[in-house]
Amino acid sequence: MILQEFVSVWVRDPRVQKEDSWHSFIDYEICLHTNSMCFRKKTTCVRRRYKEFVWLRQRLQDNALLIELPDLPPKKPFFSLSNKQQLEERIKGLQQFLEKILQNTSLLSDSRLHLFLQSQLSPENIEACASGQTKYSVADAIQRYACSSRRFPVETEYEEQSKTYSDSDSESSSSGLGHSSDDNTFQDCKTKLSEGETV
């Protein structure tokens, strides 16, 4: 019996992160589960913010000029975690973006996509690693920095948060928003970096 390859991705769990005393942003958990030979790790969870999605889309477009990439959900001046409709639209849009990207076999050859989905490297370090300017390879980065927690979404209604969080997409206060999913019951994915280890 031959098993069909699959790639499943979820965007979920929005969290407010403090940049400094004045600025904050929202990041989201991306969980990937696959049996595809294209991926080094079969189960991973990472956290990304909206501006990192913008960066990824631009880099993929630069590398695949003839491929029409899906759009990201629109950037809004003020984004509120307490606005359920706004949040669900953002989550849905980011997840659809990733699902469409992962269906394109040409894009699966881009190591930046793999590092985005399977490591916690910053965009700057992803660029450096993908271009061979780091002491570690793409495979090393994924193996060392990916979080392979086996937590996946279940069909539950999104629970409204009691606190109101707001996040600005504007450059003056916060440089981006992230992605999330309909399941807010999971804990953060813990990276397996040892203390003092840097990228």
pLDDT in tens, 102-139: 999 999 999 999 999 999 999 999 999 999 999 999 99
Q: What is the residue extent of each domain of the chain?
A: 7-75+87-159
With 60 as the cut, is the pLDDT of residue 18 above it? Answer: yes
pLDDT (mean) for 30-57:
95
Cα-based distances in Å from 10 to 2, 45, 102, 182 = 25, 9, 12, 9
Picking from 23, 26, 11, 16, the residue whose alpha carbon sits closest to that of residue 177 is 26
Confidence band for 146, pLDDT divided at 50, 70 and 90: low
pTM of the full predicted structure?
Answer: 0.72
* pLDDT score, position 104: 93
pLDDT (mean) for 15-38:
90
CA distance linking residue 162 with residue 84, whole number of Å? 12
What percentage of the chain has pLDDT greater than the value 70?
71
Residue with tokens 């881009």: 110
CATH code for residues 7-75+87-159: 3.30.1520.10
* pLDDT score, position 23: 83
Phi, psi (5° rounding) for residue 162?
-75, -25
* pLDDT score, position 31: 96
* pLDDT score, position 1: 66
